[in-house]
Amino acid sequence: MSIRNIDSFTHTRGESVYLDDIPLVNGTLFASVFGSPVAHGKILQINITEAASMEGVVRIFTYKDIPGKNQIGGIIPDETLLATDEVHYMGMPVVLVVADSAEIAAAAVKKITIEIEKYPVVTNPRTAHANGSLIVPPRTFKIGDSENIFENCTHIFEGVAETNGQEHLYIETQGAYAIPGENNSIRIISSTQGPTAVQKHSSEVLGIAMHRVEVDTTRLGGGFGGKEDQATSWAVFCALAAWLLKKPVKYSLNRMEDLRMTGKRHPYSSDFRIGLDKDLKILAYEVNFYQNAGASADLSPAVLERTLFHCTNSYFVPNVTAKAFSCRTNLPPNTAFRGFGGPQGMFVIEAAIAKAADALGIPAAEIQQKNLVKTGDEFPYGQKAASEANECWQKAIDLYEINKIKDDIIRFNNEQVLFKKGFSFMPICFGISFTKILMNQARALVHVYLDGSVNISTGAVEMGQGVNTKMLQVAANIFTIAPEKIRVNSTNTYRIANTSPSAASATADLNGKAVQIACEKILERLRVSAAEILACDAAAVEIRNGVVQVNQKAVSLNWDELVNASYLKRINLSEHGHYATPGINFDNTVEKGHPFAYHVYGTAFTTVTVDCIRGIYEIDAVKLVHDFGTSMNPLIDRGQIEGGLVQGIGWMTMEEIVYDEEGRLRSNALSTYKVPDIYSVPKELDIHFLETTNDNLAIFRSKAVGEPPLMYGIGTFFALRNAIKAFNPHSDIPFSAPMTPEKTLMALYSNK
Ligand code: MOS
């Protein structure tokens, strides 16, 4: 059963409600934050007099006004809500202004001045590492004995690989709206992937119990990881001001504030060494990852961990030593972004393979395919592969007649002088589950009303990915009633407690299973109730497609009648389901375990054409085979693949974040930060659904699809590289993403 995204009707009519669409309570005030104009230093003096005297300015708050803790660190407590004596990045919140309108609040912020004694600014993770400035102690994943195995390798290559950050660019910027309630309670409407994080930190900052803080989220206009942790501060600012002023307070960031003050995907700088035997088997791989964490931890330690988990991508390497350093710099704290460190890890091994292939004068695909993981192969973290990565790869070759495409490309390149084509394979293997085991739990609250209609609440946050549609499908599937009878409610901490953020691609699995558990319990009670009503054996009763069946024959008792009759008999028509992923574990004292419920596999084949005069390029086609398990909603899942792929291509090609040496964001507007538009998507995009039937822990065996497709975008970098090599075989092309047209042009004419 597949259904259309339940939001599609209101989305296309512009009727879907986002934070900025919520009708305001009379007397609502507006907040704006004054962020540090200096990336690192000691605060000597803050001058708010002029701002405070502006007509319409209600109050200006500093850290001294915080009744509870001035602390919002998620993993480690190293992040203040408002700066105390030092600033650590440009844009770091120092002062909170509250005014009668958003315009006045913003104007007042401009009148604030600050004196800061400047300290040295570090923006490069390797410099931070050299200074010993790490967020957490280094982590090392190890399998086999790479140190000694290198001696036996026929071919050894080493190098450096760099990936830049990425702006989330959710269409809806960060924001929240807090409304004080009776008896010292507060309601916060927040554009967050993590309602519980908002609830917890608001409660700590206000110094009140969590049960006084209600967080409600209807949907987000995009998250991509950017609102997993970093939605919190804006919500807490609103809560703080609302609490202290006893008035509703709203803050919806403008785009430039959002770009300047929030963290992004972590840039990484990495060193690799790869060793192969004469048959091109990768025997050994060593890698050091330097993660640019920004000024505080945020989610960096968890992101770092996932880099290590995915450092060998889709390949089996028997001897690996991977070290990762989370380096503290004077940039906004970098944070979750679709793939969560995985893409950064995968890029490096793809670079290592490309380097080996170049040196050996063979296509990278020869090395790639030879080393794909097979069932039973052990990943460096101890878990064994349950599938063959070659399945998607080989299917792609056969289905898309890739050998013919390759011949065409060779012919094209022989004939053309000023245009060259390149291609690449990009296999992916992504582990599904939060790597922090405790987060792999979810709850759902299902009510069947006495008219037979159903209302579902879960911890899942709808952010455009279609999770609410999937939750509805789960209930419709278990109850076998029409989707129209079911409604999915907002995500609310008063209905669903202690939620994990909607993240790690695991939201539909975790919350869907909780919905399934709750629905099954209600269904069972209804079945027993029906047997009582019909005076028959409960084992003979089934409820199918909205009617009661006895011995597979429909009787004259439909869903609505059964529900109502059961209510009259005082049967419980509500259930709270709890799900915790079974069988997963990880011991980080030895860095081994079975952290993932399952892996998602796939292979993308990318072809590009480079204009060798101008350095500009087009992506001719991406043809991919993706392991969906058994997709429960092919329309939504296709959308996730398309969006993830294009976002990955953006990261690898045109999206270029630039901070200057003072830590100032130069790409601070949409005129200087380019994301893919309809003209830059692949001209041809083929997505083949590989239906794999082996058992897995996905909801209805429909595998998680949020993050994995982003990594197909990495293929574009290597396809461009190959096109440049076709033009200039001696070109020097650093493994430095994004491969912008400017960098492409430089590479085309390097060493000429
Ligand atoms: Mo997602 S990057 O796990 O919020």
Quote the CA–CA distance of 165 and 250 in Å, as a whole number. Answer: 29
Q: Which of 192, 444, 406, 344 has its CA nearest to residue 711?
A: 344
Please give the distance, rounded to the nearest whole angstrom, from the Cα atom of residue 339 to the centre of ligand 1: 7
- pLDDT tens digits, 241-281: 999 999 999 999 999 999 999 999 999 999 999 999 999 99
pLDDT the model gives residue 692: 84
Q: Closest ligand 1 atom to the C-alpha of 706?
A: 1
Q: Closest ligand 1 atom to the C-alpha of 336?
A: 2
CA distances from 578 to 186, 445, 447, 453, 460 (A): 27, 9, 15, 22, 13
Please give the distance, rounded to the nearest whole angstrom, from the Cα atom of residue 105 to the centre of ligand 1: 32
Terminal-to-terminal C-alpha distance of the chain: 58
Instruction: Report, as an integer, the average pLDDT of 23-32.
Output: 98
pLDDT the model gives residue 695: 79
Q: Is the CB of 430 under 6 A from ligand 1?
A: no
pLDDT the model gives residue 696: 87
Pocket test for ligand 1, best of 167, 192, 228, 651 (most atoms within 8 A of CB): 228
**Tokens describing residue 727:** 């033009």
Taking 70 as the threshold, does the pLDDT of residue 616 lie above it?
yes
Q: Closest ligand 1 atom to the C-alpha of 226?
A: 4
**Tokens describing residue 570:** 């005082």
Quote the CA–CA distance of 487 and 471 in Å, as a whole number. Answer: 10
Beta strands, E only, 229-340: 249-252, 268-276, 282-294, 319-328
Q: Is the CB of 341 under 6 A from ligand 1?
A: no
Q: Closest ligand 1 atom to the C-alpha of 223?
A: 4
CA distances from 367 to 203, 712, 729 (A): 53, 18, 20
- pLDDT tens digits, 291-308: 999 999 999 999 999 999
Q: Is the CB of 340 under 6 A from ligand 1?
A: yes
Percent helix, strand and coil across the chain, each to the nearest 5: 35, 30, 40
Which residue has 């512009």 as its token pair? Answer: 14
Q: Is the CB of 338 under 6 A from ligand 1?
A: yes
Residue 695: how many CB atoms within 10 A of its CB? 10
Q: Closest ligand 1 atom to the C-alpha of 193?
A: 4
Phi, psi (deg, nearest 5) at residue 421: -105, 155
Q: How confident is the model at residue 286 (pLDDT cuts 50, 70, 90)?
A: very high
Quote the CA–CA distance of 185 and 180 in Å, as a whole number. Answer: 6
Quote the CA–CA distance of 338 and 167 in Å, as a whole number. Answer: 11
Q: Which of 451, 421, 429, 405 has its CA nearest to residue 349?
A: 429
Q: Is the CB of 599 under 6 A from ligand 1?
A: no
User: Which amino acid type is present at position 516?
Assistant: Q
Phi, psi (deg, nearest 5) at residue 490: -65, 165
Taking 90 as the threshold, does the pLDDT of residue 639 lie above it?
yes
Q: Closest ligand 1 atom to the C-alpha of 337?
A: 2
Q: Is the CB of 193 under 6 A from ligand 1?
A: yes
Q: Is the CB of 228 under 6 A from ligand 1?
A: yes
DSSP code per residue over 190-201: E--S-HHHHHHH
| Contact partners, residue 174, CB within 8 Å, separation at least 6 | 191, 226, 227, 230, 231, 234, 252, 253, 258, 262
Please give the distance, rounded to the nearest whole angstrom, from the Cα atom of residue 336 to the centre of ligand 1: 5
Burial per residue of 39-50, b for 16 or more beta-carbon CB atoms within 10 angstroms, e otherwise: bbbebeebebee
Pocket test for ligand 1, best of 232, 265, 340, 507 (most atoms within 8 A of CB): 340
Task: Please give the mean pLDDT across all residues of the chain.
Answer: 97
**Tokens describing residue 583:** 């069988």
Q: Closest ligand 1 atom to the C-alpha of 338?
A: 2
Q: How far is CA 64 from the centre of its chain?
A: 34
Q: Is the CB of 617 under 6 A from ligand 1?
A: no
Q: How confident is the model at residue 195 (pLDDT cuts 50, 70, 90)?
A: very high
Q: Is the CB of 88 under 6 A from ligand 1?
A: no
Q: Is the CB of 439 under 6 A from ligand 1?
A: no
Q: How many residues does the structure list for the chain?
A: 752
Strand 213-217 and strand 185-190: pairing?
Answer: parallel
CA distances from 342 to 322, 346, 436, 711 (A): 13, 6, 15, 8
Q: Is the CB of 225 under 6 A from ligand 1?
A: yes
pLDDT the model gives residue 1: 65
Please give the distance, rounded to the nearest whole angstrom, from the Cα atom of residue 338 to the centre of ligand 1: 5
Kindly give the interhelix angle for 402-415 and 390-399, rounded to the nearest 10 degrees.
60
User: Which amino acid type is present at position 411?
Assistant: R
Please give the distance, rounded to the nearest whole angstrom, from the Cα atom of residue 413 to the centre of ligand 1: 40
Quote the CA–CA distance of 750 and 733 in Å, as a whole number. Answer: 8
Quote the CA–CA distance of 749 and 752 in Å, as a whole number. Answer: 6
Quote the CA–CA distance of 665 and 39 in Å, as a whole number. Answer: 10
Quote the CA–CA distance of 277 and 356 in Å, as a whole number. Answer: 12
Pocket test for ligand 1, best of 169, 338, 705 (most atoms within 8 A of CB): 338
Quote the CA–CA distance of 93 and 35 in Å, as a whole number. Answer: 4
Please give the distance, rounded to the nearest whole angstrom, from the Cα atom of residue 340 to the centre of ligand 1: 6
Q: Is the CB of 307 under 6 A from ligand 1?
A: no
> Active-site positions?
707
pLDDT the model gives residue 37: 98
Please give the distance, rounded to the nearest whole angstrom, from the Cα atom of residue 266 to the centre of ligand 1: 12
pLDDT the model gives residue 693: 81
SS3 assignment, position 542: strand
> 154 forms bridges with which residues in the sheet?
none
Look up residue 718 and give its DSSP letter. H
Q: Is the CB of 337 under 6 A from ligand 1?
A: yes
Please give the distance, rounded to the nearest whole angstrom, from the Cα atom of residue 497 to the centre of ligand 1: 20
Quote the CA–CA distance of 49 and 319 in Å, as a whole number. Answer: 63
Q: Is the CB of 503 under 6 A from ligand 1?
A: yes
CA distances from 48 to 97, 106, 112, 483 (A): 10, 13, 5, 55
User: Which amino acid type is present at position 193?
Assistant: Q
- pLDDT tens digits, 393-445: 999 999 999 999 999 999 999 999 999 999 999 999 999 999 999 999 999 99
Quote the CA–CA distance of 69 and 202 in Å, as a whole number. Answer: 10
Q: Is the CB of 202 under 6 A from ligand 1?
A: no
Taking 80 as the threshold, does the pLDDT of residue 549 lie above it?
yes
Q: Closest ligand 1 atom to the C-alpha of 225?
A: 4
pLDDT the model gives residue 691: 87
- pLDDT tens digits, 550-605: 999 999 999 999 999 999 999 999 999 999 999 999 999 999 999 999 999 999 99
Taking 80 as the threshold, does the pLDDT of residue 502 lie above it?
yes
Please give the distance, rounded to the nearest whole angstrom, from the Cα atom of residue 299 to the centre of ligand 1: 10
Please give the distance, rounded to the nearest whole angstrom, from the Cα atom of residue 690 to the centre of ligand 1: 24
Q: Closest ligand 1 atom to the C-alpha of 502?
A: 4
- pLDDT tens digits, 325-345: 999 999 999 999 999 999 999
Q: Is the CB of 651 under 6 A from ligand 1?
A: no
CA angle 479/482/483 to nearest 5° reads 95
Please give the distance, rounded to the nearest whole angstrom, from the Cα atom of residue 96 to the centre of ligand 1: 28
Quote the CA–CA distance of 163 and 270 in Å, as a whole number. Answer: 9
Taking 90 as the threshold, does the pLDDT of residue 39 lie above it?
yes
Look up residue 539 and give its DSSP letter. G
**Tokens describing residue 410:** 């060779």
**Tokens describing residue 299:** 């989610």
pLDDT the model gives residue 7: 96
